[in-house]
Every structure is written in C-alpha cells, then in structure tokens.
Structure 1
Amino acid sequence: MKLRFFLLVTVFLVGLDKSNSTSKNKFPDYFKFGAATASYQVEGAWNEDGKGENIWDHITHTNPTYVENEDNGDVACDSYHKYKEDVAMLKDLGVDYYRFSLSWSRILPYGVAGSPVNKLGIEYYRNLTQELLDNGIEPMVTLFHWDTPEPLQELGGWPNPEMEEHYAYYARTVFEQLGDLVKIWLTFNEPKQTCLEGYGKGVKAPAFTTTGMADYKCTHTLIKSHAKAYHIYDEEFKSKQGGRVGMVIDTVWFEPASGSEKDAEAAERAIQFTYGWYGNPIILENYPQVMIDRIDERSKQQGFAQSRLPKFSEEEVNYIKGTYDFVALNMYTANYAEWKEETDISDVGYDSDLNVHLFMDDSWEESASSWLRVVPWGLRKTVNWLSKTYNNPEIFITENGVSDRGGIDDPQRINFYREYLSNLVDAIVEDGVNVTRYTAWSLMDNFEWGSGYSEKFGLYSVDFSSPERTRTKKASADYYSQVISTRCLVDSCE
C-alpha cells in the first residue's frame, strides 16, 4: 500500500510539474480558436415552427424527475430567437469559428428517410450561418448531438440498423440545404455518450440499461452511418462545396496508476475502449483488437452463440476506413487506471468487458461536475497519444472547459483555460503534435443534460429566471479574448 501511494504521488507531481508554470510559447499563426454549443442545450423553441419531438423533449416531459430540478430545454437559452445576440458575443470574443449543432427534428420533424423537410427549420439555420459569415466567423456544424427524433427512437433508435438509412437521408438533406455556407462538418458528437450512456447505462436519453449489448449495437450502426454520410459528401458534394468531414470522439486521459507493466496495459486498454472504440474503425481499420479479443472470449464463456460485439464485414471495414478529413477530440479530465483481476464471468456489460479500475486523485481540483477534475497535463498526453497512435493526423480540439455553480467572476475557469492551453501549445510547439483548432465549451451557460441548469460551463452567464434570458460576459470571456488576440498565455511570449 505504501509503495502504491508513493507511485501515485510521484506520477501526480510529475504531471503537476508540467503544468504549474504557464507556457511562454505562442500559438502558431495558422491556429484557430472557437467556442461551441449544441442545439438542445441552447435553442429552446422546442415545438415552434414545425419542429418535431426529440428524445430529450420526450424524456423531460414524460419523466420530469430524470433531470435535476425537473429542468428541461423547452426554452433553454432561447437561441432560436436570440441567435443574433449569440453571434454578437462571438464577435466580441474574437473567435475564428463557432461550433454549433443542428436539431434533426427541426429539419425533419418525422425524422425518417423520405419525410418532408421543414423549411422554417432550414431557414433558421441558414439565417444563423449567414449571420456568422457576415461577421467574419466560420461555422463548424455538428449534424447530431444526442437529440434523436422521437419517432426514430420508437422504431428502436440507434441499435436498429435501419437508422443508417434515416441518418443518410438527413445528412444528404443538410448538405443540400446548407452546404454552400458550411465547410466544416462533424457527423456525430461524442457517440460514446449516445451509445454507452443512452443505451447501456441509462444516464442519457433514451435511458436504456442494456450494457454490453445495446451499446455495442448502437455503436455499430452509428459508425456505419458516419461512413455513409462521409461518402455521400465526398462523392456528391465535396467537388462543388469544398468542405471537410470528421467525427467528434471524446476521451479522458488514462494515466497508469503506477509504473507497473500491468497498470500501463490497463491504461492503454481503457483508452482503446474509449477513443479507439470509434477512432480505430474510422482512422485505422476495425475495432481495437483488445476489444475484439476480450468481448469475443467473454461472450463465449458466457454461453452466447456469437460475440456481443458485432462484426464488420471485410467490405464494411474498407468502406469505413479513412472516412475522416481530420481527427476531432473532446477532452476535459483524466483518470488513473489500475489493473484488475478478471471479474465474475456471468457479469455482462461494458465495464466488465473493459475490467479496469478507474479513479481520480482526491488532490485534483474539483469542478461543479462530479466527473470533471482539473488535470491540465492530461490534454498534452492525450494529443500526443492521438498523434502517435494515428500517424500524426490534423487534430481539432472540439470541446474543452470547466463547470462551476455560476457567477460573473470565474477565476477557476480562467485558470483552467490558461493551464490546459499551456499544455496544448507546448504539445504543438515542443512535441510537434498537429493540432490546428481549439474550441472552448461553452459559449454560454446552458442545459447541462441530467444536471439541468445547475452546472455552468459558459464564457457568458445566462439568467434563466429572466424571460429575456439575459446574457452577461464573465471574466473568463475577457481572458479568452485576450488569448485569441495575442495568441499568448502570458504578458509576453517567446
């Protein structure tokens, strides 16, 4: 026990030493800064102008206690009506681009392939995108950020292979209607949360708890849907529109809990089961071998006739491989990873298939979110892992930020951005990692899923008690704006 404690303290102090003095390196001239939101979290207008119902509308209305304080996104930040104010905030920040997501249900109220397009929904997104372009801000558009149309969920949702065709129809519709204005497309945001948390652990809508089966089927359909959307764009739109397509995949950094080979193996297994689950089929080929081997073997021992992890055919592997124009990463925090002896073979589930003990250090700074502690050195290690694992691709950081309980003076957020960006610029300048974009989450306080409005991630405060949803700049917005204008984290860069 004493040896393990010593190793943990040593690992922590080494990591802390890398981030406790702010880098004097300057972000390269090509580097771009942005801010992000997502449709259900900010738009409101949940049933206006022909919008259909999505799974978050459904669960918050039929089971209000599913979200803290019985909050919902019916009005949220009211960005549907206040998008010009949002763009004015972005212009004041000085960002190069704005990452936002589209509501599938606002564009296709019935969701299904062949269903009619809601012209008012398209008009809203064209107006928002044009307002951005008129103010010199590039749109970065996410097609899907967790808000499946409810009619599609009633057909089975993402574990149903039929979703591939419905998503392809939606993607093609969006490329046709908005592709003249948008050059950066993200097919899915954090698919692990859609699948593992939505169909496996029940902590995201639609709140199913069939882990070790439905979450794997969901992923299988979703990856094939991504590939289909990529090929649709590549073959039908890219030559005329000149855009680029990728998928946003999230991970925490997994640090070995000691210097042992077993803990190093556990940490690598954890990131393969997290980022690699989605990244490997798209960037390399097929699921990570450690996932295939472990789930195949455990399924066999559990008496299943075939593996619980679905198989891609050789044709599908080749169709999916290479369907990316850049690698996108959402990253917030870190875990220690410690080797575990094998669990009860009768236990069917993702966590048992992974079989790694994950924990956080109590000395890491807390946030308002139980899952998020401040670990700046984790970002540098993560982008280095991506660079090494996937042959130095272009990397976009598509989300990074920290939560608090509110207030205009937010020194924790300033320190968070300073230290995470410090590690990022060192990874670029000193390690040679090809990161070209950084996106702050979030532009403003918004609906934070199961936590409702209790956790605040915004650079701007939103008064959710006011019918006007008044926005107020926080101190962190001024800091981020200064970083963008100077490309520097300190008073004078080298």
Structure 2
Amino acid sequence: MATYFRDYANLCFEAFGDRVKHWITFSDPRAHAQAWHSYDTSWRRRQQGLVGISLNCAWGEPVDISNPKDVDAAERYLQFCLGWFANPIYAGDYPQVMKDSIGRKSAEQGLGLSRLPVFSRQEKNFIKGSSDFLGLGHFTTLYIMDRNSPSRHGPSYKNDRDLVELADPEWPKLGSTWLHSVPWGLRRLLNFAQTQYGDPPIYVTENGASQKFQCTQLCDEWRIRYLQSYINEMLKEPLRGHMQMVTEIVTPTACTLCVLLAAVLLMLLLQKHS
C-alpha cells in the first residue's frame, strides 16, 4: 500500500505541481516518507514546492504540576499522541516513552517481543527528516493524571499510556461531547512542538468547533468567540521567542557589564598603586 500511495502522489505531483506548492501527505499518516522522498528526488528542483504532514493532538495538562507522576503522565499523553508520528520524522524513531511503556506491557502479557514495531536502521534514516513543515491539528485540551491502578481491559493504545483523561467542568462546552474551548492549550501545544522538534515551520491545519445547537438562522457567535480566542493564543509571542531574546540581548548585555566592571576595578587598582 505504501508503494501504491507513492505512485498516487507522483501522479498528483505531475498533474498539479506547477500550481500546488504546499502538499500535505496525510492527516492520519501511513506512507508519508515514500511520498516525500519521491517529491524530493524527482519534482522539487523544477516545481520548488514543500511537502509536509498534518498531525492532530489535544494538549495534555498535568492535573497537579507539583506531582511528578502527573507530569510524566502528561508527557506520555503527548508522546503517544503527537510523538507517535512526529518523533520518527524529526528524530528517526518512536518516542522512548512509547518504547518503554509498550515493551513493559508486552512483557507483562507474556510476549517475547514488544507490540510496538521496531524500525530498521535503513527505515530510520529513510523516515528521519522527511518533512518540510509540520501541520498541526488541534481542537481542545485535557487534564491528565497518572493511572495508579492496572486496567481491567486488554492491550490497547489507550491502556498502554497508563493515564486518566479529565475535563474541567468550567470549560465552555461545544457541539461534541469531547470538545471544550480551552484556547491556552493551543499555545502550549505549539510551544511543545516548536521546542521538541527543532523549531520546524508549523501550520495550524485543523481547528474549529462543531455546531452547538440547532438554529433556523445564523447563530454562531459562540463559534466566532472560539476561533477568535484560539487565533489570539496562536498570535502571542511563543516562549521560545523569549528564550531567544535572552540569548541575543540579555547575555551580550551581561557580558558588556562584566567588561565595564572589570575596567573600573582595574582603574581603581592602578590609581591605588600610583
């Protein structure tokens, strides 16, 4: 199927590449790397386009930020959600927390090998770096806490994570039962992706709110508020920008002050000896 998808992608590049300059291979990825390498090898030079991927993830916020177990659980949530596909693209392998967790669960279930597939060295090299930008879909946020009791259910993606998902009852509810308006989660997810994957170009490819109630006329002021609040969070200066400012401005300023202070001390010493 991966080969068939590569052939389909090549057909699209050939037919539309003179006009389409931004390509998203998948919203739910499978054969992404083959399509990217095909474009990079055969089409990029003449078409001058970009090929990326779109990954969807909610933000996971620890219930208790002072509890290391909840902090670790929130990290597991993000790595199982976003890192599952992004980490192989940007780091060449599945997140370590996924390998550890699923490997441990597999051993407990009496399996000789982890249920998580293992990339060969050739596959790692082939997948790593295969994206010109990161598309990010995001709709809502969840509070995450560590699950302190074993699951009674069998092996599954959800059970491998060993965590509990919660929603704040104060968060505004929207048309879908799982969807709440939590704008600050988008900014935190963007910051996470920016720092986790080496500051790639990021496009918010999915965001929005399902219908809240039936109307005979236009009545989507609540949707306008949702979009406005999420866009405002996206437009705020990211935390990484502050870190860059510290590096580029504060550090040189501190160095300058140290030099000036040393010069003053030297002058005082010379005056004393004279």
TM-score tier (shorter): 0.7 to 0.9
Deviations 1:436-461 (A, max 9, x none): xxxxxxxxxxxxxxxxxxxxxxxxxx
- SS of corresponding position for 1:417: helix
Aligned length, in residue pairs: 238
Per-residue deviation, residues 180-214 of structure 1 (Å, max 9, x unmatched): 110000000134xxxxxxxxxxxxxxxxxxxxxxx
Residue 301 of structure 1 contacts residue 345 of structure 1 at CA under 8 Å; is this kept in 2?
no
Q: Which whole-Å deviations, capped at 9, do the CAs of 1:378-407 have from their partners, x for residues lacking one?
A: 011110111111121111000111112354
TM-score (norm 1): 0.47
Q: Which residue of 2 aligns with 1:455?
A: none
Give the superposition deviation at 1:431: 5.0
Aligned pairs for 1:270-349 (under 5 A) are 270-344=77-151, 347-349=154-156
**Counterparts of 1:393 and 1:406, CA distance in 2:** 40
Aligned residue number for residue 185 of structure 1: 23
Is it true that 1:432 corresponds to 2:241 in the alignment? yes
Find out whether 1:423 has 2:210 as its counterpart. Answer: no
Which of the two has greater helix per residue?
2
Within the alignment, does 1:242 sit opposite 2:80 as a pair?
A: no
Which amino acid in structure 1 is aligned with residue 28 of structure 2? E
Q: 1:342 to 1:287 in 2, by over 3 A?
A: farther
1:311 Cα offset (Å) = 0.8
Match of 1:251 in 2: 57
Matches within 5 A, 1:48-197: 163-191=1-29
Letter of the structure 2 residue corresponding to residue 276 of structure 1: G
- 1:245 deviation in Å? 0.5
Instruction: Find the counterpart in structure 2 of residue 412 from structure 1.
Output: 222
Query: Any idea what SS the aligned residue of 2:237 has?
Result: helix
Please tell me whether the aligned partners of residues 251 and 274 of structure 1 are also in contact (alpha carbons under 8 angstroms): yes
Give 3-state SS (helix, strand or coil) of 1:412's partner.
helix
**1:230 aligned to which of 21, 36, 51:** 36
Distance of 1:344 and 1:418 partners within structure 2: 40
Preserved CA contact (<8 Å) 2:133 2:202: yes
Who is 1:355 aligned against?
162
Deviation of 1:338 after TM superposition, in Å, equals 0.4
Asked if the contact 1:327/1:394 (under 8 Å) is kept, the reply is: yes
Q: 1:392 — aligned with what?
A: 199
Deviation, 1:344, is 4.4
Deviations 1:229-261, CA, capped at 9 Å, x for gaps: 000000000001111001100100000001211
Bigger CA radius of gyration = 2
- Please report how far the alpha carbon of residue 346 of structure 1 lies from its aligned counterpart in structure 2 after TM superposition: 7.1
Amino acid at match of 1:244: L
Task: Give the corresponding residue for 1:368.
Answer: 175
Structure 2 unmatched runs, 5+: 243-274
Deviation at 1:335, TM superposition (A): 0.2
**1:63-86 Cα shifts (integer Å, max 9, x gaps):** xxxxxxxxxxxxxxxxxxxxxxxx
Q: What is the rounded CA distance, in whole Å, between the counterparts of 1:346 and 1:256 in structure 2?
A: 24
